[in-house]
Structure 1
Amino acid sequence: MGFIFATVLIDMISIGLIIPVLPVIAGSFSSTQADHAMAYLLVAGAFGLANFVGSPVLGALSDQYGRRPVLLIGFCGLALSFFVTAAATALWVLVAVRLVSGAMQANISVANAYVADITAPQDRAKRFGQLGAAFGVGFILGPATGGLLGAIDIRLPFVVAGSLALVNLAYGYFVLPESLPLDKRRAFDWRSANPISSLNKLAHLKGVGVLVVVIGLSALAQFILHSSWVLFTTFKFGWGPKENGWSLFAVGLVSVVVQGFLLPKMLQRFSSPRLVVLALVSSTLAYLGWALAPQPWMMFVIIGMNIFGYAASAAIQSIVSNSVDATRQGATMGAVASLNSLMAVLGPLIGPGLLTLVAELPRDDWRLGAPFLLCAGLQAVALVFALRFQRTHPVQPVNAHA
């Protein structure tokens, strides 16, 4: 677990570095706030589209050839993306490189499959929480550092992120062990690796079908948030890379506290289905708060109050992972990643798309929060399906291992 934790940590720091500055780079090729939102829509949507197609393929390849080589491909894709972005002089270059890197990058799904390989079913929620804590630490160190570096030179975070991706490539090649034994590998099948087929199989996993709707709606809300946060705070509060970096630092800090320390206690008190319900209630209220916050400091308060919202991912991952055997973990996690990637395509179309309609409104106009209001609605619908899932999966005594 220590090996994959270190790999994911370095990976997320490198990704986190660029979050406060990627919208700014995209906006450097535009002249108005509406054009700025549209440019970022293209850049973010390109990555999500390519990742939607590539994730189930890479996940299925990891079931045949192992997790380690697919992770190494992902690190190469990230390094390429970061260095070319740093040197980009036109918007089409950004879009092209995000297409390539999105197709090569399935690190999150493969890391989840890696954890499933080395963990007993009853301990997976806890282990996925530890992996989530690595994401959180990356979001503590990455965005804050990226914001500070971006204040010096807007392209510097991409150079540093590319260098970290190369460090991870070396670490993965020389240190990271393989997690999938030869006797648990499964032959690659193109028919089952295409994204439509993988999503169909995910939807028909025994006892999980309703939860797929929750995954999809929650992911869509999350990607609308990700693609709109920097633009929204820039338009509403006049934040720059530094302020956005600190706000994402706060998100990472709360995520680490919840998934690294509080999640085991939550799992002792609540079953995974019930924890998903509580997380969706918390997230719905948080999105409403962000949409309507009149003062910038309130954004930080709401981040801190959304405690249960950061526990949803680990609880859902454990339910889905426990529904399949060891030979299909890569394909299943690849299918989840493909669903997330589909939402990553739609999120930047919807979030920045809504902002293009309201970008020129006064800063105190509540309609500037339109993307987050939509997110609250999506979470509310997901909550209905999560309650249905909970009713069909009666609460059992919580396993002591959790």
Structure 2
Amino acid sequence: MQSRNVKLDAGNGTLIVLLLITFINIAGFGIVIPLLPFYGQSFGAPAWEITILFSAYSVGQFIGEPLWGRVSDRFGRKPVLLLTVAAIGISYIALAYATDYYTALLLRLVGGIAGGNMGVTQAYVADITPPEKRTARLGLVGAAFSLGFMAGPAIGGLLVIEGIGTAGYRPPLLCAGLLSAIAVIGTIVFLKESRIHIARAEKQQAKILDAMRHPIIGQVLLTTLVATGAFSAMEATYAIWAEVRFDWGPHEVGLTFTMIGALSAFNQAVLAGKFVERFGEAHALAYGLVLAGLAMFFQIFMPNGAWLVGITVFTVIGLSITQPAISGLISLASTPEQQGALLGLNGALSAFARIVGPLIAGALFSTVSIDAPYIFAGLGMLPAAWLALRVGKRIKIQKTQLLHAQANTL
């Protein structure tokens, strides 16, 4: 049975609206992330509890990503987007008035479950896009994500009121809730239902299990798991590391995250595609991981904040190359009807990695040294790069076998 509420390749108008809603929603998320360590400290939480606060959101996303994907297949994309974006906004507002660490932890978990809707957004894009345009348009979703992540930290850094405890973080959290409300209104007014397929859950599960056994897709998903875990270890301790080393506060961290978002958006929209075209998806992924890993490792040797910003630029360049490369590899190795499910699975694995990475980072930061998470993160990118190169070899072997098969038929 099929429901075709929006015809395939519905045009740029619907896509622009969806990208704007994505931008607004992620801007709200970006407001919170750089302030979260300082927000946790306002409750008297040590470093390991702050990293748990980070991980709680990812635990929720790990639950939400496969859940919302299945629900949207059954009931439609639009109602799921409405429900989840509204729930995210409510969680921000409640977080603004949280009175203790454990309430904040619970709200982060709930917000993460609602925030596991990226796969639904990508599925919406896949619904309205022909296969030959799908990878490029999914890249635009990534650029909208990065732009939102650029704007959010700048807003959060400007609105925070330092020196008055937890109440000082209320204005940026309320602003994040307001942005979610705007995204809800945009979804109601401008988006039509896009669902074109109704799939049975057991059939989708079988397809996903088959994909995990695929020699290319399985390796790509494992690369995502290792690389995201390493990066999230650095991300979770960036603010408190910079505070200890260079006496940075929310304003400095917020502005740096703004720079990260702007650079990432530019790279994904302009440079990453050219890099992938020049070297191929697998090698571009490997080179990006090595560059990011080296930058994270050498961060611990930076003498001041200006040098820290400079080395962070290379981390961002490396990571922004990896995102379209991973999407491209999944797209090339999967059938069109599998892409939404596999991108959702990739998002769930990323969420799982963001659970484990911050927990490891918090333990290393508190018990070994403040530099230990960056050594772990930098070295962790190397096995991920090795996996990417293995994918490249498998693709080359498959192409050779295909050429031989074609030659034998002539």
TM-score (norm 1): 0.87
Q: Which amino acid aligns with 1:333?
A: L
- Which position in structure 1 is the counterpart of 2:101? 91
How many equivalent pairs are there?
378
Residue ranges of structure 1 left out of the alignment (5+ in a row): 359-366, 397-402
1:127-182 superposed Cα distances (whole Å, 9 cap, x missing partner)? 2322221122112211011011114632211000001111111111221233332x
Residues 1:37 and 2:43 aligned together: no
User: Secondary structure of the residue that 1:185 maps to in structure 2?
Assistant: coil
Map of 1:174 onto structure 2: 189
Q: Alignment RMSD, CA only?
A: 2.3
The aligned counterpart of 2:128 is: 118
- Cα distance in 2 for partners of 1:317, 1:67 equals 21
Aligned equivalents of 2:210 and 2:97: distance in 1? 41
What amino acid maps onto 1:103 in structure 2?
I
| TM superposition outliers: structure 1 runs of 4+ over 3 Å | 118-125, 197-202, 321-330
Whether 2:392 is the aligned partner of 1:381: answer: no
Q: What is the CA-CA distance between 1:82 and the residue it aligns to?
A: 0.4
1:278 equivalenced with 2:287 (yes/no): yes
- Residue 371 (structure 2) aligned to one of 365, 369, 372: 369
Which runs of 5 or more residues in structure 2 are unaligned? 1-14, 163-167, 400-410
After TM superposition, the structure 1 = structure 2 runs for residues 263-342 of structure 1, keeping only pairs within 5 Å, are: 263-306=272-315, 307-342=317-352
Aligned amino acid, residue 153 of structure 2: P
Write the distance in 2 (CA, Å) between the matches of 1:348 and 1:231: 13
Report percent identity of matched pairs.
28
Q: Following superposition of structure 1 onto structure 2, how do residues 192-231 of structure 1 map, counting pairs within 5 Å? A: 200=209, 202-205=211-214, 207-231=216-240
**Contact 2:330/2:339 (<8 A) preserved:** no
Tell me which of 152, 175, 187 is aligned to 2:200: 187
* Aligned residue type for 2:39: I
Matched, 1:162 2:177: yes
Query: Alpha-carbon deviations, 1:159-208, whole Å to 9, x = none?
Result: 00001111111111221233332xx221344x967xxx998555224631
Render the CA deviation track for 1:54-100: whole Å, top value 9, x for unaligned.
Answer: 21111122222232222222202211210111000111111111222
Q: 1:363 corresponds to which residue?
A: none
* Partner AA of 2:185 in structure 1: A
Quickly say closer, same or farther: Cα 1:161–1:17, change in 2 above 3 A: same
Paired residues of 1:202 and 1:335 also in contact (CA < 8 A): no
Q: Does the Cα contact within 8 Å between 2:215 and 2:394 map onto a contact in 1?
A: no
Deviation for aligned residue 1:250: 1.2
Which region of structure 1 is more displaced relative to structure 2, 104-113 or 253-262? 104-113
- TM-score of the superposed pair, with normalisation by structure 2: 0.86
The 3 A distance-change label for structure 1 pair 356 and 199 is farther
Is 2:34 the partner of 1:20? yes
Deviation of 1:267 (Å): 3.4
Q: Distance in 2 between matches of 1:296 and 1:199?
A: 45
The answer to whether structure 1 residue 7 and structure 2 residue 17 are counterparts is no
After superposition, the C-alpha distances for 1:270-302 in whole angstroms (9 at most, x for unaligned) are: 321221112112111111122332221112112
Deviation at 1:316, TM superposition (A): 0.4
Q: How far, CA to CA, are the matches of 2:135 and 2:291 in structure 1?
A: 19
Q: Shift in Å at residue 374 of structure 1?
A: 0.6
Question: Are the counterparts in 2 of residues 263 and 311 from structure 1 also a CA contact under 8 Å?
Answer: yes
Cα pair distance change 1:97/1:57, threshold 3 Å: same
Aligned to 1:254: 263
**Following the alignment from structure 2 to structure 1, what is the Cα–Cα distance between the partners of residues 134 and 289?**
21
> Equivalents in 1 of 2:300, 2:141: separation in Å?
29
Query: Are the counterparts in 2 of residues 291 and 372 from structure 1 also a CA contact under 8 Å?
Result: yes
Look up the equivalent residue of 2:365 and give its one-letter code: L
Residues 333 and 239 of structure 1: CA distance in aligned 2, closer, same or farther (over 3 Å): same
- The residue type paired with residue 88 of structure 1 is A
Partner amino acid for 1:25? Y
Could you tell me which residue of structure 2 aligns to residue 348 of structure 1?
358
CA contact (8 A) 2:63 2:116 kept: no
> Comparing both chains, which one has the higher relative contact order based on Cα–Cα distances under 8 Å and sequence gaps of 6 or more?
1
2:111 matched residue in structure 1? 101
**How much does 1:327 deviate?**
3.9
Quote the Cα distance in structure 1 between the aligned partners of 2:174 and 2:68: 26
